[in-house]
A and B are shown apart, each in its own frame.
Chain A
Amino acid sequence: MAELTLSSRGATAPARRSGVWRVSPWLYLAPAILTLVVWIYWPLVDALRLSFYQWNMLPTSPQLFVGWENYQRIFALPKFWQALRNTGIYVLGLLPLSVLIPLAIAIYTHDLPARWRNIYRAIIFVPMIIAPVVAAAVWRWLLDPGYGMVNLMIEWFGFDPVKFLADPKVAIWTIIAITGWKLIGFSTLILSAANANINPSLIEAARMDGASKWEIIRDIRLPLLSSSVLFLVMMTILLGAQWSFTYINVLTGGGPLGATTNIYYLLWDFGFSTMSVGWGSASAVILFLGFGAIAFVLFRLIDRYSFHDN
């Protein structure tokens, strides 16, 4: 709103004739800006405000100003630190599935015939389009301790069945694996596409010079793939823990004993299970600042270190 008035004032002064179409960009932008302000920017401000209040979300009950108390309480909460640690585990645990394995596969399979590559491509992309809730349901069935396919196979090999979702030590890795299952095909395709874009004459020239296979990968392929790799690393760091939300919500509810709760799930828990708006908002503000700082650093790193071939 403020922007609209500001622009028309600035526009009428220098160019009279263009007074009409100086307003038009703002008219075209209005629906989008309005939506983003109402649903994202204003809520950000509101979350900041609510983080200094104590309130249980009932319209009839009063909002009580408590200053920094919510923040102090959260930082003193073992649950918060556990969730933060788990968030780190999610990201680190996802990296092999979302970057390393796809990278290895993309490089290893680059000389398969295009016909076959396209068939594999179509198959490994399927998890990406499957709804997270459906994925959760299917994996819950596959991992069922009594009759699930995975445990039947484990028993067939002579081991004890694993309580994939109920064992506090295993549960987080189960959620990571399911999140990775959704992503692995997508990452592989991104890296395969980047790998296929490498100019074959570069490889051929290196080979003429007597470079070994490993040297070609290390000195030519990996540097040329670095920007795609960095992109995927960045996505995993920024979004990895968010992607797992649905699986945590549907499969473990954050348990057992908070073992699968990450910071995003904790927010949901504060806001909608315990109905404490202040805590939820305070942790939202903490998350937003932390997330923003990490994103900023990552974008700077990418700017500096990604390597382009032309």
Chain B
Amino acid sequence: MTTEAVPQPLSAAPARLRKKTAAGTGLNSAAGHLVMVLMSIFCLFPVYWMVATSFRPTNAIFETSLWPTTMSLDNYVYALNAIPIVQMLVNTLVVSVVVTVIQLFTGLLAAYAFARWRFPLDKLVYTGVALTWLVPFQVVMIPNYLLVAQMGLLDSVVALILPHFASALAILLLAQSMRSFPKEVIEAARMDGARSWRILWEIMTPNLRGTIASLAILIFISTWNEYFWPLLLSRTPENSVIQIGIQMFMTAEGNQWGPLMAASTMASLPILLIYVILQRQVIQSFMKSGIR
């Protein structure tokens, strides 16, 4: 959760450098801490307040003590009875896992094609893939909606997955790291008679574990948090994801703050757990591949 030993050896060399400046800037560094503490409070307090509110008993919802003086699970019971949270969490989990697996699979295949072969129009296709990253979803939402309606899949979990079968992000990122894979190894495997399919799965993929893991984290989290597409399709809570559940709850029971915060906490719990366990990797995968 906190720090690892990695920065230690690094700081050995510049330590001499820093010591010189640190003497003069003791006050400065206190101010630096102050800035960061303020920023940390700004970033973390809302999340903390969500959890704290969710545990307050109904009659103490408006209390302003930092932590509830008496704890209660009433809000959770209320929220679980008001909307099918468990079913929605299961749906969200299924959608997120399936999307992650499929997107990685199609991404690996496509990236392999780009990294392994030069073929006519390859540059054009690559650009075509990259450009999809720039198309705002709002621009294609009406035709997408109509297509799903035609297939009779409105209000179904399947439709939530379909448009995510492939993503520019996965393809480009995997293609990048595959290109830096030594060509000689592939050549050698080919000499040994390995077919391209086997080279992809038995030689390339195991060597891309790092990229694949960080992509998986990114895809999983962004699918879990997705709101817009489910919003278009969802009609009944049972067929929808947890984000829509919270939105429905908010519309229906506006100011039931305690249960609303309980539902929000449950919706965030899986992501926060992943973050607590894999903090470094999560941050890295977001920073490596940008936002979206």
Residue interface bits A214-228, CB-to-B below 8 A is 1, else 0: 000000000000000
Interface segment out of the listed B39-47, B69-77, B208-216: B39-47
Is A120 part of the contact surface with B, judged by Cβ < 8 Å? yes
Q: Considering the complex, which residues of chain B in the window 201-254 have a beta carbon less than 8 Å from any beta carbon of chain A?
A: 221, 224-225, 227-228, 231-232, 243, 246-247, 250
Q: How far is the CB of B128 from chain A (nearest CB, A)?
A: 7
Identity of the chain A residue whose Cβ is nearest the Cβ of B250 in the assembled complex: A137
State whether B36 touches A120 (Cβ < 8 A). yes
Determine if A44 and B135 form an interchain contact, defined as CB atoms under 8 angstroms apart.
yes
Whether, in the assembled complex, B81 has its beta carbon less than 8 Å from a beta carbon of chain A, the answer is no
Could you tell me if B282 and A129 are in contact, using CB atoms closer than 8 angstroms? yes
What residue of chain A has the Cβ atom nearest to residue B263's Cβ? A137
Q: Judging by beta carbons under 8 Å apart, are A246 and B142 in contact?
A: no
Most chain A CB within 10 A, of B11, B243, B291, is at B291
Interface size class of A (residues with CB under 8 A): 35 or more
A3 touches B121 (CB 8 A): yes
Task: Check B291 against A47 for contact (C-beta < 8 Å).
Answer: no
Of A67-75, A165-173, A264-272, A301-309, the one contacting chain B is A264-272
Chain B residues lying within 8 Å of A116, measured Cβ to Cβ, are 33, 36
Q: For A10, what are the chain B residues with a Cβ–Cβ distance below 8 Å?
A: 120
Check B49–A36 contact: CB distance below 8 A: no
Give the contacts of A1-52 with B (CB-CB under 8 A): 3, 6-7, 10-11, 21-22, 24-26, 28-29, 31-33, 35-36, 38-44, 46-47, 50
Q: Is the interface of B mostly helix, strand, loop or mixed?
A: helix
Find out whether the CB atom of B109 lies under 8 angstroms from the CB atom of A31. yes
**Complex contact A271–B142 (CB within 8 A):** yes
Contact of B119 among A26, A42, A57, A200 (CB under 8 A): A26
Which chain B residue lies CB-closest to A114?
A: B7
Please encode chain B, from 91 to 132, with 1 for each CB lying within 8 Å of some chain A CB and 0 for all others: 000000000000001110110111011011110010011001
9-residue interface stretch from B14-22, B82-90, B179-187: B14-22
Q: Which residues of A contact B4 (CB under 8 A)?
A: 118
With A42-B143, A123-B43 known to touch, is A245 a contact of B228 (CB < 8 Å)?
yes
Contact A120 to B140, CB < 8 A, known contacts A31-B106, A126-B275: no
User: A142 near B49 (CB under 8 angstroms)?
Assistant: yes
Given contacts A39-B144, A119-B3, A128-B286, contact A134 B32 (CB under 8 A): no
Q: Which residues from A are CB-within-8-Å of B8?
A: 114
**Which residues does chain B contribute within 8 Å of A137, judged by CB atoms?**
50, 246, 250, 260-261, 263-264
**Cβ–Cβ contact B287 & A28, under 8 A:** no
Specify which of A24, A59, A108 lies most central, judged by the most chain B CB atoms within 10 Å of its CB.
A24
Whether B166 and A119, one on each chain, are in contact in the complex, defined by CB atoms closer than 8 angstroms, is no
Q: Is A147 on the interface with B (CB-CB < 8 A)?
A: yes
Tell me whether A131 and B42 are in contact in the complex, defined as CB-CB below 8 angstroms, given that A122-B1, A138-B50 are known contacts.
no
In angstroms, Cα B145 to Cα A32, docked, is 20
Q: Which residue of B lies closest to A249 (CB)?
A: B231
Minimum CB distance partner of B36 in chain A: A120
The residues of B that contact A271 with a CB separation of less than 8 Å are 141-142, 145
**B138 and A284 form a contact (CB under 8 A):** yes
Q: What distance in Å separates the Cβ of B48 from its nearest Cβ neighbour in chain A?
A: 10
Residue numbers in A under 8 Å from B261 (CB-CB): 137-138, 141
Contacts of A245 in B (CB 8 A): 138, 228
Q: List 21 A-B contacts (CB under 8 A).
A: A10-B120, A11-B120, A21-B117, A31-B165, A32-B165, A108-B35, A111-B21, A114-B7, A118-B7, A122-B2, A128-B286, A130-B225, A131-B227, A131-B267, A137-B246, A184-B39, A184-B42, A239-B292, A271-B141, A288-B135, A295-B134
Interface residues of A (CB under 8 A from B): 3, 6-7, 10-11, 21-22, 24-26, 28-29, 31-33, 35-36, 38-44, 46-47, 50, 57, 59, 105, 108-109, 111-112, 114-116, 118-142, 144, 147, 149, 152, 181, 183-186, 188-190, 193, 200, 204, 235, 238-239, 242, 245-246, 249-250, 264, 267-268, 271-272, 277, 280-281, 284-285, 287-288, 291-292, 295
A6-B121, A44-B140, A138-B46 given; 14 more Cβ-contact pairs under 8 Å: A24-B113, A29-B113, A35-B166, A41-B132, A43-B139, A112-B36, A119-B3, A122-B2, A124-B44, A125-B283, A126-B275, A140-B250, A181-B46, A284-B138
